[in-house]
Amino acid sequence: MTATTAVRDERRLMEGSEAMVEAAIAAGCRFFAGYPMTPFTELLEHFARRLPEEGGVCINAESELEAVGMAWGALATGARAATGSTGQGLSLMQESFSEITLAELPLVVFNMARGQSDYFQATRGGGHGDYRHIVLAPIDIAEAVELTQLAFHLADRWRSPVLIYGDYLLAHVTEAVSVTPFSVPALPSKEWAVDGSLGGTGRSRSISPLGLGKHGHPGPGIERHLRAIAGKLADIEREEQRVEHAYTDDAETVVVAFGTPARFVRYVVHQLRADGEKVGYVRPISLWPFPSAVVADASAGARVVATFELSAGQMIDDVRLAVLGRAPVVRLGGISTDGSGFGVGALLDAEVVRDRILALHRGGPEAELPPLPVNERG
Amino acid sequence: MSETRTIKSRGAVTIDVETCKGCELCIVACPPRVLSMSTEVNQLGVHYPRLHPGCTGCAACLMVCPDFCFEVFRFEEPVLTTIEEPA
Amino acid sequence: MTTSQPAGPVLDSDAAPEGARKIADLKPDLLLTGEHNLCPGCGEPLAVRVYLEALQELGVSRETVMVAGIGCYTMFTGTVDLDLVQALHGRAPSVATGIKRMLPDKVVFTLQGDGDMVNEGLQEVLHTAARGERVTCILLNNGVFGETGGHMTATSVLGQRTKSSLEGRDAEYHGYPILIGDLVSRLQGAAYVARGSVHNAGAVARTKRMLRRAFETQLAGDGFSFVEVLTMCPTGWFIPTADGPDYMHETLGEVHVMGELKVDGMVKTTEELHAENVRKQHEVEAELERGGVDL
């Protein structure tokens, strides 16, 4: 299946929310249901405006529970469909994410998070049961346009949910971007989708998280189904790691960061390199599967590996698992937010990031870092 | 002493006695009261309904049977059964 | 329940009697097999029969998508010969919404129990109704969590003994039952709302007509349609199977009153339904006297 639609390929000023919606539509998304919540709300607004123009449907659902349920139904018909919220709203949807993964439906989820403390929720499979789903974390709007289209492709390719992890900055900053169609290989048609046409034929279809079919064609059953899902997730873990890194061959200090905060880290590391400091960075683009091999390689010759994440420390667990003791792993980030709790705090400042990386680079793993800056503006 | 009586059956049913779970809903539902529970048990170990003369073919048994045990038939001409009853 | 023993020899067989015309099948055609593992005396298979027959009679078997909730009736997802999506407990109406919006010309309906719809997912059915979503929600209401073994639900009636209301549902302690059909009927988006029952053949036949009308409402694009069906659960009520119909009629049926609650925008009161029921029962009894109910 290929996504085709009229694409606005000229560069124009768009806020991230609008760009992601245009990218979703370019990828063939025709159904969206969501419940407003800052900083995700503008995605819902743009979908509400744009989907009807494209012959699609956007529902302002009465709750997050219903939003994800509606997307579930739309997906079952073979349509490309998505939902989204902030991490708080996604907490309410986790039961469905779990079962949608087990039902093998290609859901795309937008998390415009309040900071980065939804890392565990996004990467651990926040609901019940044995599952994870792909998580892609764009660094800027141009990459968000690309990864949004990729998300719909990967969701269909693997018949498994894909989450786009963004934040306030990604959703609300305005940049000049063009929504260029993303070229992907064709996928098989969705034979599994229901359209009602096989009723009464003895071959009617069933979309079930339990691997249960019908009398006469009973499906694999629960145990074999769950094992097949586990096998598929292992394949995804092997094949879908995405990562950007620089200077890791000889870096003594390696900083790991994702999403929009990584933009600050990348900028500062390039600056420091220009000054002759042996620092490098790794930016996981896929948070799950985590690019463990690249982080491991980067840590091989490093004196210290640091994470810069806007949380009390969540991705650091994955970094430690990848580094496996080859180097000390320390935190450069921390909780940092504005007065509304939207995750835009005083840590997001190139000078502050530079001071912290430099302090670590000069002082080594035991270095005393500057105190976390405090948001004084409310 | 006994006397004979003729009972008219306008309909009949077949009963899948091995599928029956013995709930007796059909016994209660049968308007002419021509179903009784067996004294024997089926493979599930439960008693099952039997049909006696006088069925009207109304399908009430079928409509209340949770286990889909009944098929219902109607005769073009009523079938007569003569029975002997104690006086 | 006392019944006199019928007279005469055993006549039944497993083969069709000679010279007879078959008027009703073992199972509905849209059921792949009649076998199921629900308890003896369960009312749910009776409701399953009539909604399948209603769909078949309307000629929409190959244009229908069913969304199943979670409860005992979920067992039928493996045997109902319709394209089907399994939803989470309580969440079927929103799943049905997504399907219908993508397939507006198809018949889309949910099958849910009272635990599923009125406990876990109450907001789902209310919002879907208020939206006037062109789907049909079917509720199998037995006033008890049957699958877990007999626990109180939001529709359990006052005085009803369950494993979580051992001395009977007490308003002071457990609160009052929700009359979901009445709630739904007050919502503007709901076009057709009815409450049927399967406690006897007449009620089953009447419920089937309600289901037909609900699906017809959907096909006409008139808005949300809803059919609640009271079903027996002797296991969860802790009574003998043969007592199920009378028990249901006298307990659940007294509170969740059978009838068409909303037709063409007109909402009926409980008192009006009571009066209508008495009249209908007389009609059905007369029909049975004449030799059969309308199939």
Per-residue pLDDT tens listing for chain C (295 residues): 444 678 778 887 778 888 888 888 889 999 999 999 999 999 999 999 999 999 999 999 999 999 999 999 999 999 999 999 999 999 999 999 999 999 999 999 999 999 999 999 999 999 999 999 999 999 999 999 999 999 999 999 999 999 999 999 999 999 999 999 999 999 999 999 999 999 999 999 999 999 999 999 999 999 999 999 999 999 999 999 999 999 999 999 999 999 999 999 899 876 788 788 788 778 888 888 887 655 5
Q: Would the pLDDT of A189 be above 70?
A: yes
What does the pLDDT average to over A155-182?
Answer: 96
Interface check for C84 against chain A (CB to CB < 8 A): the answer is yes
Question: Do residue A20 and residue A168 come from a single domain?
Answer: yes
- B46: domain CATH number? 3.30.70.20
Neighboring chain C residues of B79 at a CB cutoff of 8 Å: 17
- C1 vs B22, B33, B54, C124, C198, CA distance in Å? 15, 12, 21, 40, 18
Whole-number Å distance between alpha carbons of C246 and B63: 16
Number of domains comprising chain B: 1
Q: What is the CATH number of the domain that holds C98?
A: 3.40.50.970
Average pLDDT over residues A126-155: 97
Return the higher-pLDDT residue of C286 and A259: A259
Look up residue C114 and give its two tokens. 């009272």
Q: Do you know the residue count of chain A?
A: 378
CA–CA dist A210, A224 (Å, integer)? 10
pLDDT value of position C47: 98
**Pick from C109, C162, C117, C107: nearest CA to C140:** C117
Chains A and C touch (3+ CB pairs under 8 A): yes
Do C205 and B63 lie within an 8 Å CB cutoff? yes
Q: Which residues of C touch B3 (CB under 8 A)?
A: none
Q: Which helix (H) or strand (E) holds A120?
A: helix A119-123
Q: Which residue of B has its CA nearest to C16?
A: B14
CA distance B36 to chain C (A): 7
Could you say which of B12, B36, B83 has the minimum Cβ distance to residue C20? B12
Q: What is the CA radius of gyration of chain A?
A: 21
Cα separation, A349 vs A346, in Å, equals: 6
Both A149 and A273 in a single domain? Answer: no
- For residue A105, the chain C residue with the least C-alpha distance is C85
pLDDT confidence tier of residue A1, bands split at 50, 70 and 90: very low
Name which of C55, C240, C232, C14 is nearest C143 in CA terms.
C232
Partners of A29 on chain C (C-beta within 8 Å) are none
pLDDT, tens digit (0-9, with 9 covering 90-100), for A192-226: 999 999 999 999 999 999 999 999 988 899 999 99
DSSP C54: H
- Identify the domain containing residue B58 by its residue range: 2-86
* A165 and A288 share one domain: no
SS3 content of chain B, % helix, strand, coil (to 5): 10, 45, 45
Domain that residue A343 falls in: 243-363
The CATH number of whichever domain residue A276 belongs to comes to 3.40.50.920
Q: Are residues A37 and A155 in the same domain?
A: yes
Q: How far is CA A28 from CA A135, B6, C64, in A?
A: 20, 75, 25
CA atoms of C58 and C109, how far apart (whole Å): 14
So what's the pLDDT on residue A123? 98
Strand order, beta sheet including A29-34: A57-60, A29-34, A80-85, A108-113, A162-167, A134-136, A286-288
Domain end point (choices A150, A177, A204): A177
Is residue A2 predicted with pLDDT exceeding 50?
Answer: no
What's the pLDDT score for residue A378?
Answer: 61
Identify from C10, C22, C26, C35 which residue to disrupt to test chain B contact, counting B C-beta atoms within 10 A and taking the largest count. C26
Q: Cβ separation of A69 and C81 shorter than 8 Å?
A: no
DSSP designation for A315: H
Inter-chain residue contact A96 with C91, CB threshold 8 Å: yes
Does residue A143 share a domain with residue A252? Answer: no
Tally of domains in chain C:
1
- Within 8 A by CB and 6+ apart from C217, the residues are C136, C191, C192, C223, C225
- Alpha-carbon distance of B31 to B20, in angstroms, equals 20
From A63, A72, A210, residue closest to C98, measured CB to CB: A72
- Asked if residue A170 and residue A269 are part of one domain, the reply reads no
pLDDT of amino acid C2: 45
Q: Looking at A156, A177, A198, which one is the last position of a domain? A: A177
The dihedrals phi and psi of A98, each to the nearest 5 degrees, come to -60, -50
User: Beta partners for A60?
Assistant: A34
Put simply, whether A52 touches C (Cβ < 8 Å) is no
> Which of C6, C14, C42 faces B66 most closely, judged by CB atoms?
C42
* pLDDT grade for A6, boundaries at 50, 70 and 90: low
What distance in Å separates the CA atoms of residue A255 and residue B80, rounded to the nearest whole number? 96
Let me know if residue C232 belongs to a domain: yes
How do beta strands C224-230 and C136-141 pair? parallel
- The set of chains that have 3 or more CB pairs under 8 A with B is C
**How many residues are recorded in chain C?**
295
How far CA C281 is from CA of A7, A270, C221, C273, C276, in Å, comes to 64, 85, 31, 12, 9
For chain A, the domain total comes to 2
Which residues in chain C touch residue A198, judged by CB atoms under 8 angstroms apart?
Answer: 62, 83
Q: DSSP of A227-256, one letter per residue?
A: HHHHHHHHHHHHH---EEEESTTT-SEEEE
pLDDT on residue C277: 78
* pLDDT at A232 (0 to 100): 98
- Within 48-77 of B, beta carbons closer than 8 Å to C belong to 49-60, 62-77
Look at residue A300 in the predicted model and tell me its pLDDT: 95
A95 located within any domain: yes
Interface contact flag, A214 C98, Cβ < 8 Å:
no
pLDDT score recorded for residue A8? 47
- A165 and A247 share a domain? no
Nearest to A77 among C80, C93, C99 (CB): C99
> Which chains does chain A touch, 3 or more C-beta pairs < 8 A?
C
Q: Which of C30, C32, C64 sits opposite A216 (nearest CB)?
A: C32
Strands C151-152 and C144-145 turn out to be antiparallel
Is there a cis peptide before residue A39, judged by omega within 30 degrees of 0? yes
Q: Does C22 touch chain B (CB under 8 A)?
A: yes
Which two three-digit tokens encode residue C247?
Answer: 């028990």
* C123 touches A at CB < 8 Å: yes
Which range marks the domain in which residue C149 is found?
44-289
Do residues A313 and A167 share a domain? no
A82 membership: H or E segment, kind and range: strand A80-85
Candidates C95, C123, C127, C137: best to mutate against A (most CBs of A within 10 A) is C95
Q: What is the rounded distance in angstroms from the CA atom of residue C237 to the CA atom of residue C39?
A: 12
Asked if the structure places residue C91 within a domain, the reply is: yes
| Last residue within a domain, chosen from A149, A177, A205 | A177
Q: What is the pLDDT of residue C291?
A: 75
- pLDDT by residue for chain B (87 residues), tens only, comes to 678 889 999 999 999 999 999 999 999 999 999 999 999 999 999 999 999 999 999 999 999 999 999 999 999 999 999 988 776
Q: In 10 A of CB C102, how many CB atoms?
A: 25
Mean pLDDT of chain A: 95
Which of these, B64, B73, B27, lies nearest to B46 by C-alpha position? B27
Whether residue C148 lies inside any domain: the answer is yes
Residue A14's H or E segment, with its range, is strand A12-15
Of the candidates A62, A199, A210, the beta carbon closest to that of C127 is on A62
pLDDT in tens, A338-351: 989 998 999 999 99
Among B8, B58, B77, B81, which would you mutate to test the C interface (most chain C Cβ atoms within 10 Å of its Cβ)?
B58
Answer yes or no: is C5 within a domain: no
Measured between alpha carbons, how far is B64 from C172 in angstroms, rounded to an integer?
Answer: 36
The rounded percent of chain A whose pLDDT value lies above 90 is 92
